[in-house]
A and B are shown apart, each in its own frame.
Chain A
Amino acid sequence: MRSYIWYFCRKQKKMKDIARQQMSIKVSTMDALNEQIKMEGKASASYLAMASWCDQNGLPGSADFLYKQASEEREHMMKIFTFINDAGGNAISPEITNVNHDFSSLEEVFETALEQEIAVTKSIHKIVSLSRKSEDYAVESFLQWFITEQLEEEKSMRDILDLFQVMGTDGIALKLIDERIK
């Protein structure tokens, strides 16, 4: 009888792990990454709006810088998008709404840009924590590049805001700052 039970148990095949074969990351981290795609997309659109404002207000140096920032944010978004699909997940194209086009000064533009970068940094750190809790080490490893990149982004914006502290915010100072922004 015992040998029959042993034989029966051996015959029962373990269920194939089809889901894990199809997807290398967890759905919870995939959801967080899709939210990050939305955030990076929104950041790109915000930089476009800022660049447009700068162009309209005769600040071509700042406009060029912000157009480049808009492209960079889109590249970040595409990096995450491709990662999700490569990992077997489902990347979602984001809907971008409520982009602010109103600024009272160039200083406000860059203050908004810095706040935006800080928000993106915090969001990435949250996803790293989430990926650790869910033991999703592939996502944690993938995000290391973004952690370093965000340090650089925040520094760029901080350095620009320092120019306003040093040179002032009126008249010729504004023109000189605009020429120095790269």
Chain B
Amino acid sequence: MKTICRSKFYALYQSDEERCHYLDMGQKTIKLSFCQLLALRHKVQEIAIEDHFDSAFNKHGFETLMLCNKEHLFILNTLETLDLKELVEKSFFKLGIAYPASVLV
């Protein structure tokens, strides 16, 4: 398995033999097809991190994340959420199917 990207709490790997990815979430490692990886990206992008700093919207600063068609459930705090967002963004850039935001502005 080859390492695509590593962040403070998480890591993303690619398995050429199985043609899939593995996401190490600390407590467990989950297998993701490319479609599932795209779905993860969408869910992570949709997280409104600003709500974590507003007690009216997200009093306890936790995020629940269901992955792979509800096969896995994770509960993340604010720092873990930020870290996962960063990992996902960098991973897609390293996979060669995203352009850095600085170029697109």
- Which residues of A are interface residues toward B (Cβ below 8 A)? 13, 15-20, 22-23, 25-28, 31, 88-90, 92, 130, 133-134
Specify which of B14, B16, B96, B99 is in contact with A28 (CB 8 Å cutoff): B99
B60 at the interface (CB under 8 A from A): no
Dominant SS among interface residues on chain A = loop
Of A15, A18, A134, chain B has the most CB atoms within 10 Å of the CB of A18
Excluding A19-B34, A26-B99, 18 further A-B contacts by CB distance (< 8 Å) are A15-B16, A16-B19, A17-B96, A18-B14, A18-B20, A18-B21, A18-B34, A19-B96, A20-B95, A20-B96, A20-B97, A23-B34, A28-B98, A28-B99, A28-B104, A89-B38, A90-B38, A90-B42
25 examples of A-B residue contacts, CB within 8 angstroms = A13-B16, A15-B16, A16-B14, A17-B95, A18-B14, A18-B21, A19-B92, A19-B95, A19-B97, A20-B96, A23-B34, A23-B38, A23-B97, A26-B98, A27-B41, A28-B98, A28-B104, A89-B38, A90-B35, A90-B38, A90-B39, A92-B42, A133-B99, A134-B99, A134-B104
Least distance between B21 CB and chain A CB atoms (Å): 8
- Which residues of B are interface residues toward A (Cβ below 8 A)? 2, 14, 16, 19-21, 34-35, 38-39, 41-42, 45, 92, 95-99, 103-104
B14 and A27: CB pair below 8 A? no
Q: Which residues of B contact A19 (CB under 8 A)?
A: 34, 92, 95-97
Q: Which residues of A contact B39 (CB under 8 A)?
A: 90
Known contacts A13-B16, A23-B34, A90-B42, A130 near B95 by CB under 8 Å: no
B34 and A27: CB pair below 8 A? no
B14 and A15: CB pair below 8 A? yes
Least distance between A72 CB and chain B CB atoms (Å): 28
Q: Which residues of B contact A18 (CB under 8 A)?
A: 14, 16, 19-21, 34
Given the complex of chains A and B, what is the CA–CA distance between A95 and B16 in angstroms?
Answer: 37
Given the complex of chains A and B, what is the CA–CA distance between A118 and B17 in angstroms?
Answer: 49
Of A17, A27, A88, A133, chain B has the most CB atoms within 10 Å of the CB of A27
Closest residue of A by beta carbon distance from B96 = A20
Q: Which residues of A contact B35 (CB under 8 A)?
A: 22, 90
- When A and B form their complex, which 6 residue pairs have the shortest distance between CB atoms, in order from nearest? A19-B95, A22-B34, A90-B38, A134-B99, A16-B16, A27-B98
